[in-house]
Amino acid sequence: MPMINKLPLLGLVALLAACGGGDEKAATTDTDTTTAAVAPAAPAVAPAPAPAAAQGNVVEVHMVTTADNASGHFEPANVTVKKGDTVRFITDGKTVHNVSFPPAENVGKSNLPPPGTFLTAPNQNYDLVVTMDPGTYNFQCDPHVGMGMKGVLTVQ
C-alpha cells in the first residue's frame, strides 16, 4: 500500500484520539454550570493544640496504682498551690487514671477545670494550670473514685 493511501487513515486516528471518543456527556451542550465548577479544596485538619505550658511553680502529684491494679491513690493527696501554679499529675502506667473536679463535689465553686485525659502509659502526665480562685477543691480519679482515689487541692 503506498504511503499516500495511509495518510488519511493516520489523520482519522489522530482526530479520534484528540476528541477522546465515546463520551456522550462531552458532546452535549450542558448549561448546568454547577457540575463544571471546581469544588474548593477541603481545609487541612489542624493539629490538636499543644498542652498549656507549665506556669509558676510545678507541683507533682503521682497517681499510684494498688498492687492488685484495681484502684490507686494520689501522692500527695492534699496539695497546696497558688493561682498560676501548675499541678502535674503523673501516672505509673499500671492502669487507667485521670483527674477531675466534679461539680457535685465542689458545690458553689466556679471555674472548675474540665476532666483530664485518661493516662495509661508509665510517666504520662496531665498538667493543670491553676486558674481557680482561692479555696479548697476536691478532685478524684473517675475510674477509681468508688475505691477512694480522691484528693484535695487548696488554692491560696
**What is the count of structural domains for the chain?**
1
State which residues form the domain around 108: 58-155
> Is 144 contained in some domain?
yes
Specify the pLDDT at position 50: 45
Residue type, 29: T
> Is 26 contained in some domain?
no
> Is 124 contained in some domain?
yes
Q: How far is CA 34 from CA 24, 37, 38, in A?
A: 18, 5, 8
Q: Is there a contact between 77 and 152 (Cβ–Cβ < 8 Å)?
A: yes
Specify the pLDDT at position 7: 45
> Is 64 contained in some domain?
yes
Q: Is there a contact between 99 and 138 (Cβ–Cβ < 8 Å)?
A: no
**Residue 120, domain CATH:** 2.60.40.420
> Is 5 contained in some domain?
no
What are the 10-residue block averages of pLDDT along the chain, 156 residues in total? Answer: 49 46 45 45 43 75 92 97 98 96 97 96 97 97 96 98
Specify the pLDDT at position 54: 59
Location of C-alpha cell 484535695:
152
> Is 119 contained in some domain?
yes
- pTM > 0.85: yes or no: no
